Structure formats: C-alpha cells, structure tokens
C-alpha cells in the first residue's frame, strides 16, 4: 500500500509521502512481524506502568490493554493486514490499535520511542530463542548419553589426520560430543544472564522527563533489571551477536559430527547405519541411501556464521546511538535461529536412531597397526627402554608386518625377536584392542570404566 499523504506517525513536518523505493528500502514489516508477540507484551507492560505512575489514566490504560489483546489475536489468527507504508511491526500494531480504540491509542507512545521499543522486542525474541536452544541442546546431549552408555566398551579406531591412531571406545567418542554440546549449553546460559536487562524507558536515546518506573516494566517482562545507560540500551546489539556467536560455535560442533556420520555411513566405512527417517534414496541408483540430513547440518554452519559476520559488519563503526543500519539485525538472527533449531532437532533424531555396527567398528579398530603405541609403551614398561628407542623398535616391527601384509599380533615371537631379542611372549597381551582401551584408565581416557564414570557424572548433572 503506497500512501501519498505524509506518515501519520512521524509525518508532521513532511509535506509529501515517501517515494515507493524509499518505502521499499525502509520497511521492515516483511520480517519484523515475527516480533508481534514481543511488541505487544512490551506495549502492555509500558501502558500498565504509565497508568501506575499516573502518566496516563487508568481508563486509557485499560482501553489500550484490551485493544492490544485484540490486535494480538488478530495477528495470531492471520486476520491483520500489515501495511508497508506503516514501516514496521511497532507502527502497524499502533495504527491498528488506533482503529480499534481511537484516541487513547495515541497515549501509548508517551515516554517511549521505537528505538527502545525495538531493542526491547528484539531482546525478548532472542531470549526466547536462547531458551529454545537450551532445550534443543539438552535433548541432543541426552541422545549422545544413551549412545555412550550402550557402547561404553565397544571398540573403534580413533583417528588423527583421519588416519588410524589408537583404538578408542564408542562411548568415549560419543562423550566427546557431550562435552562440546555441554559447553555450548553453558554459553547459552551465560549469554542469557548477560542480556537479560530491559532497554524500555531509554526512549529515543536520552531517557525521558516523564516519571516512569523502569523497574516495573523490567520486572513485568521478566528482565533482571533495566539497562543502566539509555544510550547503550538503544544502540548495542551485542546480545544478538553473542547469540550468533554461540550459534556459530554450536553449528560448527554439529557440522563435525555431521561429517563423521557422512564418513561413517559410507560403504567404505560402515561404522553406523542411519535410519531411513533421516536419509533419502537416489532416483537413479537403487542401492543408494544418502545421509542428506547430515550433509545439510554440515552446511548450516555456513549460513549461521555468515549471519554472525554480517551483523558484526553492520554494527562495526556505528556511532552512538540508534542508526537505521540496526534494522538489518533481525533477518540474520531469525535465519540463524531457525536453522540452528532445525539442525539441533535433526541431529538429535539421527543420534537417537543411528545404529553402531559393532563388528565393523571392532574390525576397523584392530587394523592399521592401531596398537603400535601400546607395543612401544610395553617396551618401555617391560624392558625399561627409553620411549624414543621403543618408538624406533616398534616402527621396525610395523614395517615388518606391513611387508608381510599382516597386523602386529600376527607376527610370530621369532619375527619380533629378530627386531629386538628381549621381546617376550607377554607382548601379545597388549596388542589386542580390548586390552588397549581397557589400559587407558587415566582420567578422561578411553577405558570403558572411565567412560561409564563420565556418563554417570553427566546423568547426575542433567537430572
């Protein structure tokens, strides 16, 4: 809708309406309509405070309150037609309120500006997202714990450089992700605690001459306290950047397990079977089962980190206080939040459904001379050899096995003794993968008992 008359909210000094292009670049209603519920909650808290402090009458406040509830239900039911000429959600709501209740609507904006209004709405929205991400992370962590507990003693190859390094346990690998996502969770909680201050009442930038009660509005909206500096309150978006930062890190963690699932589910690895629920087929190759959900999760970090960079660039170098640049904050955060929630939910489903292929894991764990370190450690312990020398002797044994086309335990004692005469039969005890993982009892190590202890610790913490 193009309006040729000047804007009813701020058009007092304007003779003509905006150019159509101006309206198109200026309007945010296309996306900030997602703030409708937060906007109306903020307005209700503000109106109640204005009445409690005697700035407006109780009658007007009551008319505003009822009118706002009507506007909210109209929006929720999709009955309100938004107008681009009214720019944003704040003015669309207020204009509808005026249609519904008349003159008292004009008193709602007393001691307030769209600058503190949008800062408040957006904080409320981001806070809801932090709460949703917290729940998503908890569910994902629980899914990893179930896997870890089931497979505390299943052996698999541990990799460095994606080359077989040492045997580890399935449970240990799962618990590594529990640690990562638990740190993401603590970042969510930290960010929430820091951002939970209320900008409302900062007005345009300087505060207001009306005797407002900022504690009252802060409390009504569930904030811990009002923001202490009005310039800061309307002009920073660091809470949104913290959200994008923690979302980026979380998405990065998700992408790493997603990549492992892509590798592990391949015909070459066959470490896991993914459920049909999170896979797709190929229209031409009947044998295919593609890990699409994992691939898409792997990709999400790109757009989420992109949003982080985009908003960082928007905010960089902006002088205090509000600038219209900041209207560009919302789409990035909306997109990142939607995609993070989707990725968390899809990953939780995949982790719950995936089936570790124990036999394949164990066979792979034993190949690639994965117990070479155990052999070197045995030479140190049993023969008192310096580790550097033990490393060298083990290397020679690996070369011998490689030349023979066998694994370390397949070398005969004679063959071993040809490399170093003091090696005894006892060496074979450390060459098995189960003995290898069971021996790694150091705190945080891969031994099944260590894994079980960590599972128990996390279950208790999350109870």
Catalytic site positions:
161, 282
* Residue 84 touching ligand ARG (CB under 6 A): no
Does 88 bind ligand ARG (CB under 6 A)? Our answer is yes
Residue 281 token pair: 């087929």
Smallest gap from residue 125 Cβ to ligand ARG (A): 12
Q: Quickly tell me which residue has 């503190």 as its tokens.
A: 116
Whichever of 1 and 403 has its CB closer to ligand ARG, that residue is 1
Is 208 or 327 the residue whose CB approaches ligand ARG more closely? 327
CA distance 39 to 68: 10
State the minimum distance, in angstroms, from the CB of residue 29 to ligand ARG: 8
Q: What is the spatial distance between Cα 94 and Cα 80, in angstroms, rounded to a whole number?
A: 12
Structure tokens at 137: 């992370």
Give yes or no for residue 129 binding ligand ARG (CB under 6 A). no
The footprint of ligand ARG on this chain (CB under 6 A) covers a number of residues equal to 10
Compute the distance between CA of residue 152 and CA of residue 170 in angstroms, rounded to an integer.
6
Window contacting ligand ARG (CB under 6 A); options: 113-121, 237-245, 334-342, 403-411? 113-121
Considering the complex, what minimum distance in angstroms separates the CB of residue 94 from ligand ARG? 12
Q: With respect to ligand ARG, which residue has the nearer C-beta, 264 or 322? A: 322
d(CA 296, CA 212): 49
Whole-angstrom distance, CA of residue 125 vs CA of residue 128: 5
Q: Is 405 helix (H, G, I), strand (E, B) or coil?
A: coil
Judged by CB under 6 A, the stretch of 78-86, 111-119, 309-317, 394-402 that binds ligand ARG is 111-119
Among 255, 327, 373, 394, binds ligand ARG (CB under 6 A): 327
Which C-beta is closer to ligand ARG: that of 327 or that of 373? 327
Q: 14: part of which helix (H) or strand (E)? A: none
Pick the stretch among 63-71, 322-330, 410-418, 452-460 that binds ligand ARG (CB under 6 A).
322-330
* Tokens coding 308: 């982080």
Name the residue among 226, 20, 8 with its Cα closest to residue 119. Answer: 226
The span of 110-118, 237-245, 255-263, 437-445 binding ligand ARG (CB under 6 A) equals 110-118
Between 87 and 374, name the residue whose CB sits nearer to ligand ARG: 87
CA dist 87 and 332 (Å) reads 19
Task: State the sign of the Cα–Cα–Cα–Cα dihedral 132, 347, 258, 450.
Answer: positive
118 makes contact with ligand ARG (CB under 6 A): yes
Query: CA quadruple 410, 413, 417, 421: dihedral positive or negative?
Result: positive
Supply the minimum distance, in Å, between the C-beta of residue 349 and ligand ARG: 35
Q: Judged by CB under 6 A, does residue 28 bind ligand ARG?
A: yes
Would you say 30 or 444 has its CB closer to ligand ARG?
30
Tell whether residue 233 is a contact of ligand ARG (CB under 6 A): no
Binder of ligand ARG out of 44, 46, 112, 114 (CB under 6 A): 114
Minimum distance, C-beta of residue 88 to ligand ARG, in the bound complex (Å): 4
Site for ligand ARG in 29-68 (CB under 6 A): 32
Distance CA 120, CA 197 (A): 9
End-to-end Cα separation, the chain, in angstroms? 54
Pick the closer one to ligand ARG by CB: 319 or 405.
Answer: 319
Three-state DSSP state, 165: strand
Identify which range of 149-157, 160-168, 321-329, 361-369 contacts ligand ARG by CB under 6 A. 321-329
Give, in order, the Cα–Cα distances in Å from 7 to each of 12, 18, 20, 192. Answer: 8, 8, 13, 37
Q: Is 115 in the site for ligand ARG (CB under 6 A)?
A: yes
Q: Which one of 85, 152, 326, 427 is in contact with ligand ARG (CB under 6 A)?
A: 326
- In the bound state with ligand ARG, the residue whose beta carbon lies nearer, of 120 and 371, is 120
Cα separation, 91 vs 94, whole angstroms = 5
Per-residue burial over 95-133, b if 16 or more Cβ lie within 10 Å, else e, is bbbbebbeebbebbbbbbbbbbbbbbbbbbbbbebbeeb
Q: Which residues bind ligand ARG (CB under 6 A)?
A: 28, 32, 88, 114-115, 118, 322, 324, 326-327
């Amino acid at each position: 809708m193009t309006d040729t008359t000047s804007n009813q909210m701020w058009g007092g000094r304007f003779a003509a309406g905006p150019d159509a292009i101006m309206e198109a670049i200026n309007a945010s209603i296309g996306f900030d309509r997602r703030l409708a519920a937060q906007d109306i909650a903020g307005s209700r808290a503000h109106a109640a405070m204005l009445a409690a402090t005697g700035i407006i009458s109780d009658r007007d406040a009551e008319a505003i309150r009822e009118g706002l509830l009507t506007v909210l239900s109209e929006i929720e039911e999709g009955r309100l037609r938004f107008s681009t000429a009214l720019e944003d959600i704040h003015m669309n709501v207020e204009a509808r309120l005026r249609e519904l209740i008349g003159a008292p609507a004009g008193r709602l904006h007393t001691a307030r500006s769209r600058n503190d209004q949008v800062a408040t709405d957006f904080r409320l929205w981001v806070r809801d997202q932090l709460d949703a991400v917290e729940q998503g992370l908890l569910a994902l962590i629980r899914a990893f714990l179930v896997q870890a507990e089931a497979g505390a003693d299943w052996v698999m190859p541990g990799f460095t450089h994606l080359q077989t390094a040492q045997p580890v346990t399935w449970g240990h690998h799962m618990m590594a992700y529990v640690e990562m996502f638990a740190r993401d969770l603590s970042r969510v909680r930290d960010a929430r605690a820091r951002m939970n201050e209320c900008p409302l009442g900062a007005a345009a930038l300087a505060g207001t001459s009306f005797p407002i009660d900022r504690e009252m509005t802060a409390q009504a909206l569930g904030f811990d306290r009002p923001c202490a500096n009005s310039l800061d309150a309307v002009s920073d978006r660091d809470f949104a950047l913290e959200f994008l930062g923690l979302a980026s890190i979380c998405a990065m963690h998700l992408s790493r397990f997603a990549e492992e699932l892509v590798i592990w589910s391949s015909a070459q690895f066959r470490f896991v079977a993914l459920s049909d629920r999170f896979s797709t087929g190929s229209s031409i190759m009947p044998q295919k089962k593609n890990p699409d959900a994992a691939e898409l999760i792997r990709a999400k970090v790109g757009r989420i980190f992109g949003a982080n960079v985009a908003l960082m660039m928007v905010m960089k170098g902006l002088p205090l206080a509000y600038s219209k640049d900041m209207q560009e904050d919302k789409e990035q955060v909306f997109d990142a939040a939607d995609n993070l929630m989707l990725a968390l939910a899809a990953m939780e489903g995949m982790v719950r459904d995936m089936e570790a292929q124990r036999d394949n894991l164990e066979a792979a764990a034993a190949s690639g001379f994965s117990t070479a370190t155990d052999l070197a450690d045995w030479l140190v312990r049993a023969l008192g050899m310096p580790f550097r020398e033990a490393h060298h002797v083990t290397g020679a044994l690996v070369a011998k096995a490689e030349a023979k086309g066998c694994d370390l335990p397949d070398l005969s004692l004679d063959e071993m003794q040809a490399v170093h005469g003091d090696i005894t039969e006892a060496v074979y005890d450390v060459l098995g993968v189960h003995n290898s993982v069971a021996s790694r009892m150091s705190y945080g190590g891969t031994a099944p008992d260590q894994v079980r202890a960590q599972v128990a610790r996390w279950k208790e913490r999350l109870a």
